[in-house]
Every structure is written in structure tokens, then in C-alpha cells.
Structure 1
Amino acid sequence: MFIALLLLPVCAGGGVALFKTLRAAGGAETAWVPLMAGALSWLAIYSLLPKPMWVYVFGHEFTHAIWAWLCGGSVKGMKVTAEGGHVYVTKDNFLITLAPYFFPLYALAVSGVYALGSRLGAWSGVVPVAVFHLLLGAAYAFHVTLTWHILQTRQPDITSQGRLFSAVIIFLGNVLVLLLAVPLLTGSSTLAEAFGWWGGSLSDMGRWAWAGISGIIHP
């Protein structure tokens, strides 16, 4: 819990940076319109049709596996059902445990396919770009809605790491993903600007805290 409390100012700074990044990207209609159309399309499916829980659970468990590989572990097996799943890994840490809650696997898969197709010259022009943004919006909305859905029930991933610490890491992970994605998708700001806003917010909070402490020590 102590680490989580120490990270709360980092969360606040990330929130400020994300707000500034989104505000800077507000005029990028060519990106936002298809992104929002895709997200709204998924929301309609989510509201009206049975939830594709097997697909979500597969992505959830596969994300555990990816992060286990990234952290130097190996995967011994994976079980997936619509009711839940489990992955058997040789290494575990908080990133491996919490990654599915901030790592939008299917959205990244859409981005990877589009990047590969563009690299090979298979897709060019306005229509492929619009379709990419449409599918990306739907995939990210899929991640957000179904992650929120499963968080309404007790999750061993969360309880094993502590609720406050898990909330902080999940928030920071999602902020980091969006700070990377929004500038790249909209071109309205650079990554340096987005992360500069984060650093600037932390610096401002540090100055305010120091001024407050100084005022108490030297009234």
C-alpha cells in the first residue's frame, strides 16, 4: 500500500498529461470520427448481443502469457473457457498479473495488421485508414467494456496484488497506452510533448508540496 500511495502523484500527473493530450487532439476529426464510430458500434453489440466472453478470456490469458515471456518466463499451458481461464507460467510479478487490465491485446493486433499491410504496400488511401480507425475503436472499446465487466466480480489477479496497488498500476498502464497511442493516431502532438506534460505536472506538484512544507516549517 505504501508504494501505491507514493505513486498517487504520478497518477495525478498522468491524468493531467492525458487531458492535455486529448485536448490537443480535439481537432483531429479524420481520426476521431471513425474511432468513435467503431467504439459506438461495439457498444451497440455489447448492449444487444451476448457478450463474447471466450474471446475476451482468451485475450486475457494470452496477455498474461505475453508478459510472462517479456519478463523472461515461459508458458507451460493455458486453459480458456467462457467462464474463466488460467495460464501456467514459470514466472510471476505484478506486471504479468495485471497486464490484461491495461494491455489492449486486440487493439494492438489490429494496429499490427494495419502496420504490416501498410509496410507491404497493400493498403493505401483514405478508405483503409478509415477502416483501420473504425476497427481500432471497436477493439479498444471491446477491451474497456469487458475489462470493466469482469472487474464487477472478484478477480484473483486484483486481490493477490492488493486493490489499491492494482488500481494504481492499472490506471498508470492505461494512461501510458493512451499517451503513446493518441499522438501517433492523431498527429496533433508528439510523444515528447505528451510525456513532457506528465513530467511538468509532476514538477509542478513537487513545487507545490515543497512550498506547503516550507510554509509549515517556516510560517
Structure 2
Amino acid sequence: MSAPGLLSRAQLRTSYLDEGSLPLTAESARELINPVRGMARAWRLLLSLVVLLPLSVVAVFALMIQIYHARPVVELASFWLSVPVWHTLLGGFVLLVCLLRRELRAVLLFLYVVGHELTHAVAALLCLGKVRRFRVGLDGGFIETNKANFFIALSPYFVPIWMLLWLLIFWLINEFHPSDEVQICLYTGFGFWCCFHIYWTLWVIPREQPDMIENGVLFSSLLIFLLNMGMLIAVLAFFGIITAEGYCSDFLYAARRMMHTFADVGELLRRSL
């Protein structure tokens, strides 16, 4: 997202060319050299290096420990053939097939752009802002709002809006008309939209998104990674591969190991000096 009153663009390009960028206006130039914005970026960089980066390493380490301990579960055929797991994987396979067809890929790209800008708009409304313009197309999209913060700017990268809508719809259907068919549709769609979010997020992030540049690429990348990691942990816990209690325990263990490692390195450097 850009500053209040400016267009916020999520330019989805198929290359790294800057052919779709907006020209640098005098107002934009003043924003770039604004000392307040510069100080905010410096604080975000410091936060990224001191907090978000260590948290990311610890989160991955803890997840690896949990997955290692989950081997007795995932080695069972009954686990893979269960309705939730089997149909979630089936949904991911359906997405893969769709991505291999050019015409279907274009439709999926358009759906991603719509969801991306819709998430921006919902986030702006949640922050008590107003959405003045909303545009989507295969070449990208943007919204214009009077609010700007990192939550509004980065929300499409960690909020899988289509997946959440799908789960809400079929959860309501299952509440009033429970059946095996509804369960199958629920999990198949969940797998499809979950993989949809992962694929297009990974596809769009390297394409120099203004949303991320505005808030600092390192800060944005680490925050997006951590929040998506949280979603992955929730999914794995739901399927019984890991447990929330076990993950928290391993997270604290990994954090202590990292602190001890830093302390040992610091002591080694102190002695060498």
C-alpha cells in the first residue's frame, strides 16, 4: 500500500521488467526522501534482523523436530487414506492440473488478482478506512484508500481469502446438511485453495511488489513467512501430524538452543579479541 491518498498497486507481471511501473512524480519523490518514513524503515530493518529473522529460524527448526517425531503417524496407510488427508491432496492435484492448462491458468490468475485486491479492501475496512477505487485485471490491480499500514499492504500474502470463504461456506452447509459429500467437497476445496494461496504467493513475491517495497522487502518477507508458517502449523495440527503443545515445547527448546549458540559465539569472539 502507498501513502494515504495515493494508489496502492499490486502489479502482477510475468517477468521482472519494470514496464508497468508508474512514473516517479514529485509527490512520490518527496515520499521517498521523507525522514519520518526513512526512520520507520530503519526500525523495521532492525526489527527484522533482531526479532523476525531469529523467530523464523526457530520456527523452522521446531517444525522440523515435530515432523521428525511424526514419522509413526505419517507412515501409516490409514493416515493417507483418511477422508481429510486424501481429499486435501486431491484438491492440490486438481490445482496442479489446472495450472498446466494455459486458459485455466489465466482464470486462476484473474481469481488471484481479485482475491488480492479484495483482501486489501477488507483489511482497509477493518482498519476503519474507506475504499475509493477498486480495479482488477490480468495485468494487475489496485485499490485507492485513505488508510495505509503494513497490515493493509501485506494482508493478501498471508490471508488466503478464497480458502477462508470456502471453509466458511461448506462449514455452514455441513452444520445444516451434514453428509459425506459435503465433507469431500470441503476437504477437496480446502486443498485446492490452500495450494492456490501458496502457489500464487510464491509466484508474485519475486516480482518486485510495491506492497513489499513500501514496507521493506526483508521485513515484509519475514513477516509473510512467519504468518504463513503459522497457517501451515495450524493445518498440520488439524491433520494430527503435529500437536500445538508439542510444537510450543519444541519452539522453546529451539529458542534456548539458539540463545546458547549466540552466547557461545559471543564468548568466543570476546576471547579472540
TM-score normalised according to structure 1 size:
0.86
Counting aligned pairs with the same residue, the percent is 26
> Separation in 1 of the partners of 2:169 and 2:120?
21
Give the equivalent residue in structure 1 for 2:253.
200
Deviates most, 44-53 or 190-199: 190-199
Q: Is the 8 A contact 1:4 1:168 kept in 2?
A: yes
Residue by residue over 1:33-53, the C-alpha shift from the partner in whole angstroms, topping out at 9 and shown as x without a partner, is 221211111111111232222
| Equivalent-residue separation in structure 2 for 1:74 and 1:212 (angstroms) | 50
The code of the aligned residue for 1:182 comes to L
Q: Secondary structure at the match of 2:100?
A: helix
Q: Match for 2:97: what amino acid? A: A
Other-structure match for 1:182: 236
CA drift of 1:62 comes to 0.9
Q: CA 1:117–1:158 in structure 2 vs 1: closer, same or farther (change >3 Å)?
A: same
Other-structure match for 1:119: 175
Distance 1:129 1:194 in 2: 28
- 1:17 counterpart residue number: 62
Q: Equivalent residue of 1:77, what SS?
A: strand
Distance 1:115 1:172 in 2: 27
Rounded Cα–Cα distance in structure 2 between residues aligned with 1:56 and 1:211: 46
Is 1:108 the counterpart of 2:164? The answer is: yes
Separation in structure 1 between the aligned mates of residue 221 and residue 114 of structure 2, nearest angstrom: 22
- RMSD of aligned alpha carbons: 2.3
Please state whether the residue corresponding to 1:91 is helix, strand or coil: coil
Q: Which residue among 26, 36, 46 is the counterpart of 1:2? A: 46
CA change 1:70–1:178 in 2 (3 A) is farther
- Bigger radius of gyration, 1 or 2? 2
Moved more, 8-17 or 72-81: 72-81
Amino acid across the alignment from 2:153: T
Distance 1:130 1:20, change over 3 A: farther
For residues 59-208 of structure 1, the aligned pairs below 5 Å read 59-120=115-176, 122-125=177-180, 127-184=181-238, 186-208=239-261
Aligned residue type for 2:48: A
In the alignment, residue 228 of structure 2 is paired with which amino acid? N
CA apart distance, 1:188 = 4.0
| 1:80-120 Cα deviation digits (max 9, x unpaired) | 12211111222211121111112111111121122222333
Unaligned 5+ segments in structure 2 are 1-44
CA distance in 2, matches of 1:22, 1:133: 22
1:179-218 CA-to-partner distances (Å, cap 9, x unmatched) read: 222212x134433333443333223211222233234446
SS, match of residue 187 in structure 1: coil
Compute the displacement of 1:152 (Å).
4.3
Report deviation, 1:163. Answer: 1.8
Query: After the TM superposition, which residues 20-31 of structure 1 pair with which residues of structure 2 at under 5 Å, given as runs?
Result: 20-23=65-68, 24=70, 26=74, 28-29=79-80, 30=82, 31=84
- Is 56-65 or 145-154 further displaced after alignment? 145-154
Structure 1 unaligned residues grouped into runs of 5+ = none
Q: Report if aligned partners of 2:174, 2:183 keep a CA contact under 8 Å in 1.
A: no
Q: Does 1:214 align with 2:228?
A: no
SS at match of 2:234: helix
